[in-house]
Chain A
């Protein structure tokens, strides 16, 4: 029985960390703000729960487990809203998203600074 637990938590953790790294790299390399928001969104809303589930599987049944569940719910509730709110605030803040990669770079410099 424990072996199965070990394996599933290992898979969860691996998947979580892989997504984390891809998100981080995405955050750096994406040319425009809104694509970066997408990359950051991925890590926050998907990698975090995966990692936390992996953690939960490793812990024995106790108060701590409930607390991790609480954190999971809280993160699930706040992160997507935060990312959405940030994207909206930036849009209002006057940053135009980079519409199409190919034409606009040939023409004037991308609308946003």
Chain B
């Protein structure tokens, strides 16, 4: 049963990756990266239990934190760019 869940998570991660590649605007990429991150946290948690890694939960908790900080950094990156006007081709890449 655990493996079924792991496979499901892997499929979702690939879907998120596809969205990251395609993503018309960079907001989509940000969203895809965030959801990819949370899926990885789940993957580490479930995988760690299934394959009996050692202290895998610390890594999972850490990555949940890092993913959250990363998303905040990305958002901060966007809003600063807004102030000094759009340069380059702006929104859609």
Asked if the two chains touch in their complex, CB atoms less than 8 Å apart, one says: yes
Residue of B nearest to A27 (CB): B19
Q: In the complex, which residues of chain A have a beta carbon less than 8 angstroms from the beta carbon of B49?
A: 55, 58-59
A107: Cβ under 8 A from any B Cβ: no
Q: Do B91 and A94 have beta carbons less than 8 Å apart?
A: yes
Q: A21-B11, A89-B78 are in contact. Are A54 and B25 (CB under 8 A)?
A: no
Task: Choose from A9, A10, A13, A71 the contact partner of B64 (Cβ within 8 Å).
Answer: A71
| A-B contacts at CB below 8 angstroms, number | 141
For chain B, the count of residues having a C-beta within 8 Å of the partner chain is 46
Name the distance in Å between A91's Cβ and chain B's nearest Cβ: 10
Contact with A along B1-28 (1 / 0, CB 8 A): 1101101110111011011000011011
Known: A27-B35, A33-B27; 9 extra A-B contacts, CB below 8 A, are A20-B9, A24-B12, A27-B16, A40-B34, A43-B38, A43-B39, A44-B35, A51-B42, A94-B91
Q: A17-B9, A79-B38 are in contact. Are A33 and B61 (CB under 8 A)?
A: no
Contact with A along B65-90 (1 / 0, CB 8 A): 10110011001001100100000000
A-B contact list, 7 entries, CB within 8 Å = A20-B42, A27-B15, A27-B32, A58-B2, A85-B75, A86-B27, A95-B25
Q: Do A13 and B4 have beta carbons less than 8 Å apart?
A: yes
Task: Choose from B8, B30, B60, B72 the contact partner of A18 (Cβ within 8 Å).
Answer: B8
Q: In the complex, which residues of chain A have a beta carbon less than 8 angstroms from the beta carbon of B42?
A: 20, 47-48, 51-52
CA distance A25 to B19 in the complex (A): 10
Q: In the complex, which residues of chain A have a beta carbon less than 8 angstroms from the beta carbon of B18?
A: 28
